[in-house]
Amino acid sequence: MNNTSNEYDQVVAKCRHIYVLKMKDYGPSWRIMRPQTVNDQLFIKAKRIREIETTGVNLVGESIEGELMAIVNYSIIGLIQLRHGYADGVDMSAERATELYDEYMHEAKELMLRKNHDYGEAWREMFGSSLTDIILTKINRNKSIASHDNKTLISEGADGNLFDMLNYAVFYLIQKMEKENQQ
């Protein structure tokens, strides 16, 4: 499990680096996105990954790894939007958006460590394509939750799905990193 924690940190550091650079380019311009818009951004990324996995064709040239890192970052953005609401304009500094990124990423890692313990690192034996399908399922769950005014009867809420999507994307990135290290 200690190896998973270190690998998780390596992957997250890359995702955070991209997030910080995008904050320098655009600032938190995404503050205007409603939660369902963030969910659709996640859908676009996951759908593209599935399409590449299924067809083996990548005409745009952007890597699956890049799309997975976008899923990690959009999941954090989704958590920020859920917990802080969306705005009509940019109402948050890049510094504050990065503080929230770190806060929610810490929460995601703590959740991963607990679940990873209980599930015995089952994700290590899963296909990457299965992780993609689970992410797409979580996106569809959030669409359903949104259509019910973000209320659930028995299930975890949209934030739980966002944390899971983030962690499944990190797991897939770890799998890819391990494959590269073996070659």
* Mean pLDDT (10-residue bins), the chain, 183 residues: 89 98 97 97 98 95 95 98 96 98 98 96 97 98 93 92 98 96 88
Q: What is the dihedral of CA 43, 112, 66, 91, to 10 degrees?
A: 70
Per-residue pLDDT at 58? 94
CA R_g for the chain: 16
> How far apart are alpha carbons 105 and 39 in whole angstroms?
18
- Residue 155: CB atoms within 10 A of its CB come to 11
- Residue 13: CB atoms within 10 A of its CB come to 9
Indicate the angle between helix axes 158-182 and 128-147, nearest 10 degrees.
170
Instruction: Give exposure, 63-91, as e/b (b: 16+ Cβ within 10 Å).
Output: ebbebbbbbbbbbbbbbbbbeeebeeeee
Per-residue pLDDT at 183? 86
Tell me the CB-side half-sphere exposure of residue 123, using CA atoms within 13 A.
Answer: 28
Per-residue pLDDT at 2? 63
